[in-house]
Amino acid sequence: MTGQVFWSEVVGTALLILLGAGVVANVILPKTKGFAGGWLLINFGWGLAVFTGVYAAWKSGAHLNPAVTVGIWTSGAETYGGSAQLPVTFGNTLVYFAGEFVGAFIGAVLAFLAYKKHFDQDADPAVKLGVFSTGPELRSYAWNFITEVIATFVLVYWVVVSGLKENASGLGALGVALVVVAIGASLGGPTGYAINPTRDLAPRIAHAILPIKGKGSSDWSYAWVPVLGPLVGGALAGLLSQATI
């Protein structure tokens, strides 16, 4: 059963990052059909990427995000959801983390391959990094961290509450996709809304490893913000759900 959960998270997260990084590449890399398509195209692309990944990873409960896994853990839930219904234990948490990380790395590599000829074009190294990972518009580590905590809190609180209410809204995957679009449109401006540690860390590692022409730095000095901020936001969302549901 743990193997099913691992591969479910790998496939779902790989699809999430392939489509999410793909829409960013389509909007910001030179000579693409979607070049300069704008922020809202990126927001909707990420929302639909979540929609796709959630359906693909139904067996594991489609966490696709360590912050979601942590939020479910701190909510006091007995299982991690999905058809697998793995109990909430430290070992099972690591299974989710591993699947999410491996899937995110695979998705980033696939996005690179899909846009390889566009990565070969001359562009600012920061633009090429922006396909793989997030970065702040105004660099202030403390405030960037707070932004990621708040944005991730919104996502994980919605996920936990909708699960505890047995999806009473009936929205399911579409609901979380729309929440992601809303977060991007409303809270994504300062940092690019990672709201998912592996969404940022695994693709950033892929950026560092892949033979990307003129890629420049992977900006490791900022990398802790989109990892720790979402984990804190997810944990707080789970804890608050115990007091409010």
| Mean pLDDT within 192-198 | 98
Q: What CATH number has the domain bearing residue 195?
A: 1.20.1080.10
> From CA 32, how far away is CA 9, in angstroms rounded?
30
pLDDT at 166 over 60: no
pLDDT at 168 over 50: no
pLDDT digits 0-9 by tens, 40-88:
999 999 999 999 999 999 899 999 999 999 999 999 999 998 888 899 9
The encoded tokens of residue 220 equal: 């490791």
Q: Do the Cβ atoms of 240 and 221 come closer than 8 Å?
A: no
**C-alpha R_g of the chain:** 17
pLDDT at 165 over 70: no
| Mean pLDDT within 6-34 | 98
| Mean pLDDT within 4-17 | 97
226 or 172, which is more confident? 226
pLDDT at 169 over 50: no
pLDDT at position 245:
66
The encoded tokens of residue 36 equal: 């300069």
Structure letter (DSSP) for residue 79: B
- Return the bridge partners of 87, or none: 79
Instruction: Provide φ and ψ at 169, rounded to 5°.
Output: -70, -20
| Mean pLDDT within 192-204 | 98
Q: How many independent structural domains does the chain possess? A: 1
> From CA 44, how far away is CA 37, in angstroms rounded?
11
Within the chain, residue ranges assigned H as helices are 2-28, 39-56, 66-74, 90-114, 116-119, 125-132, 141-164, 172-187, 197-209, 225-244
pLDDT digits 0-9 by tens, 95-147:
999 999 999 999 999 999 999 999 999 999 999 999 999 999 999 999 999 99
Banded model confidence at residue 9, pLDDT cuts 50, 70, 90 = very high
Q: 153: Cβ–Cβ under 8 A, 6 or more apart, which residues? A: 233, 234, 236, 237
pLDDT at position 195:
98
> From CA 133, how far away is CA 191, in angstroms rounded?
10
Q: Show the domain range for 40.
A: 2-244
> From CA 198, how far away is CA 202, in angstroms rounded?
5
Average pLDDT of the residues of the chain:
94
pLDDT digits 0-9 by tens, 124-135:
999 999 999 999
Which whole-number Å values give the CA distances from 232 to 9, 107, 142, 153, 219, in the listed order?
21, 25, 13, 8, 21
pLDDT at 167 over 80: no
pLDDT at position 85:
87
pLDDT at position 171:
62
